[in-house]
Amino acid sequence: MKKHKICKILLIILAIFLCVAFYELLGICVAYKKQPEVSNTTKKETKIGSWNECSENTERAVIIEKNPEALLQRVRLIKNAKKEIILSTFAFQSDESGKLILGALYDAADRGVHIRLLVDGMESWIDMEGNPYFYGLSSHENVEIKLYNKANPLKPWKMMGRMHDKYLIADGKRYILGGRNTYNYFLGDFPGHKNYDRDVLVVCDEPEKENSVNQLSEYFETIWNQEDSGYFHNNKKLANRKSVKNAV
């Protein structure tokens, strides 16, 4: 009789697990059954011919090939910033390179630089939630952290809406844009496996409206102000936690 009850309980647990798995899978699949149509405006703006038009440009650019240089240039932009830092990244971890970026951002915030950080909602749920380093940064008065499409298991049809943008803008005049996320796999020369990617560093001392740095800044504002972008932890009291104090 006792064995029968145990088997019944196990079957109930299995049934619940299968129902939840089916619910998540159905929600994810249904959300992408029909893709939205591309508007005529978007088609016009992205016509290849317009990209080849000649124009005067005061911007200077250089390719960043190696991971150590990619980390160095990011820290350098943050360290030299006077007014504002914008960082958008798909994934941000608190490993060696991540902590160097976090430390540079925190120091900049202490100097009065306004920091805005935008991270993918699913990746932040995995790497940032409960992490005292990110809690410490978010609790600084000069720092705002938003997540694009916060992960919510109760709404699986939204969970595959991801943000893969990776760029850093300093004072609206310099930016790094490319394929590198913010942790050891992409930045620095720390032990472990590496991903070899590329970034472009662009400098524009006197940006005009048509310059790419302004276009990138305008794009960021569009994503930052979307309804899908919500604050990570907008609670300054997190700074009082012992683990956060130790991290900072």
For 140-158, write each residue's pLDDT tens digit.
999 999 999 887 767 766 6
pLDDT at 53: 58
Mean pLDDT of 5-17: 76
Are 82 and 174 in contact by the 8 Å Cβ rule? The answer is no
pLDDT of 234 > 80? The answer is: no
| Rounded Cα–Cα distance for residues 161 and 175 (Å) | 25
pLDDT of residue 28: 61
pLDDT of 1 above 70: no
- For residue 164, name the pLDDT band (cuts at 50, 70, 90): very high
Three-state secondary structure along 170-228? ECCCEEEEECCCECCCCCCCCCCCCCCCCEEEEECCCCCCCCHHHHHHHHHHHHHCCCC
**Is the pLDDT higher at 194 or at 46?**
194
Note the pTM of the prediction, 2 decimals.
Answer: 0.78
Reported as a single tens digit per residue, the pLDDT across 55-111 is 566 889 999 999 999 999 999 999 999 999 999 999 999 999 999 999 999 999 999
What pLDDT is recorded for position 4? 67
Instruction: Say whether pLDDT at 222 is over 90.
Output: yes
Q: Does residue 127 surpass a pLDDT of 70?
A: yes
- Give residue 173's pLDDT: 94
- pLDDT bracket for residue 33 (50, 70, 90): low
pLDDT at 198: 93
